[in-house]
Structure 1
């Protein structure tokens, strides 16, 4: 019985060490990307429709790889603004065109 118990302890010990090496916690976290649209022209390159009461707005633009929780930097009326993507839907044609619900966040 003690041999069996010792063997199980070694197996569980190796398993837990293997699990720690294979799946470190810092690799499981996904970083939010920042997409800089501050040099793009409002009305030509993108459209932004503010929802004033909620510090939110809808943006239609072009670009790939934008996901919910990412950030978008815009220049609106000469002021740099930072928004976080709450929802985004890509058009089927063209496939890099999208509409997103953005929420304004503090610029740091």
Structure 2
């Protein structure tokens, strides 16, 4: 009987550990990438959609992922977007296209 009880305890411990690791991975902080000093059309391409509330951006920089933030500047206006979807090209491997949505500033 004690053998069954220790097996259950081991399963509970394993499930708790997996749950902890899963939640820790989900809680990784989003990064913010500043493109305000970059030149649109040269360093990156941005195609606005829905009156700048969304847009498609293509650029080269490794490590950007879904949920990250991108800062863009248009004239004197500063825009903060969040990466909704991102796809990396196979060649070059650090080039990507992403669907961004504008984050409303408080």
TM-score normalised to the size of structure 1?
Answer: 0.75
Which runs of no fewer than 5 residues in structure 1 stay unpaired? Answer: none
Q: Which residue of 1 aligns with 2:8?
A: 12
Match of 2:83 among 78, 82, 85: 85
Counterpart-to-counterpart distance in 1, 2:58 and 2:31: 18
Task: Specify which of 25, 29, 49 is matched with residue 26 of structure 2.
Answer: 29
Instruction: Tell me by how many angstroms 1:45 deviates.
Output: 1.1
Q: How far did residue 7 of structure 1 move?
A: 3.1
Q: Which runs of 5 or more structure 2 residues have no equivalent in the other structure? A: none
RMSD (Å) for aligned C-alpha atoms: 2.4
Structure 1 distance, partners of 2:24, 2:15, is: 13
Aligned length: 104
Computing the radius of gyration from Cα coordinates, the structure with the larger value is: 1
Shift of 1:55: 1.1
Match in the other structure for 1:61: 59
SS at match of 1:16: helix
* SS of structure 2 residue aligned to 1:7: helix
